[in-house]
């Protein structure tokens, strides 16, 4: 019996939070006969004050924001794409040269492949720097200039 009353109290509080209020004279009946449709006693809340807030119902127009393409942004994105492709290419070449260096047998071939690996790693590093410069140029292109 106590369990039913606890459930009832929880249901009443839940119904209050969902904009429904119990009718006071039916609460005792609801407590007495739990679970029947006649004793529900929950009705929709009605507003007796008739408060109207027209400013909350007014929908403001939304302005559509578009990205403006300027020369700085196009140059920055172009640098990022070009140097990104170059850095990936030089990285792959350096990996290939290093793998050949690991599997080579003669010392002269190993020296040549290691020098080639260092050269491609250097090119890849310069390409990464170019990619970062393109990223910085693109980032600064989004800053709006003050009037």
Statement: residue 2 has pLDDT above 80: no
* Tens digits of residue pLDDT in 33-90: 454 444 445 554 555 666 666 566 566 677 777 767 788 889 999 999 999 999 999 9
Q: Are 27 and 77 contained in the same domain?
A: no
Q: Model pTM greater than 0.75? A: no
- Say if 29 falls within a structural domain: yes
- Say if 28 falls within a structural domain: yes
Domain count of the chain? Answer: 2
Q: Are 81 and 36 contained in the same domain?
A: no
Range of the domain at 76: 71-140
- Say if 132 falls within a structural domain: yes
Q: Are 75 and 123 contained in the same domain?
A: yes
- Say if 63 falls within a structural domain: no
Q: Are 81 and 132 contained in the same domain?
A: yes
Radius of gyration of the chain (CA): 37
Q: SS3 of 64, please?
A: coil
Which residues neighbour 98 within 8 Å (Cβ) at sequence distance 6 or greater?
113, 114, 117
Residues 35, 42: Cα–Cα separation, whole Å = 12
Give the single-character DSSP code of 143: S
User: What percentage of residues in the chain have a pLDDT greater than 90?
Assistant: 43
Q: Are 39 and 80 contained in the same domain?
A: no
Q: Are 36 and 78 contained in the same domain?
A: no
Q: Are 130 and 79 contained in the same domain?
A: yes
Separation of first and last alpha carbons in the chain: 74
For 76, the enclosing helix (H) or strand (E) is helix 71-102
Which has the closest alpha carbon to 142: 56, 93, 75, 69? 69
Q: SS3 of 144, please?
A: coil
Is 36:48 a contact under the CB 8 Å cutoff? no
Tokens 């929709």 sit on residue: 44
């Amino acid at each position: 019996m106590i369990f039913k009353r606890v459930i009832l109290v929880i249901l009443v509080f839940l119904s209050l939070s969902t904009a429904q209020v119990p009718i006071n004279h039916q609460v005792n009946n609801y407590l007495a006969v739990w679970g029947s449709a006649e004793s529900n006693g929950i009705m929709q809340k009605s507003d007796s004050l008739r408060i109207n807030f027209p400013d909350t119902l007014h929908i403001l127009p939304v302005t559509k924001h578009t990205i403006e393409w300027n020369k700085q942004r196009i140059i920055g994105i172009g640098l990022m794409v070009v140097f990104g492709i170059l850095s990936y290419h030089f990285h792959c070449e350096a990996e290939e040269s290093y793998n050949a260096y690991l599997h080579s047998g003669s010392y002269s071939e190993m020296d040549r492949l290691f020098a080639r690996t260092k050269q491609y790693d250097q090119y890849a590093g310069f390409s990464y720097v170019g990619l970062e410069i393109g990223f910085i140029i693109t980032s600064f292109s989004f800053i709006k200039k003050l009037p």
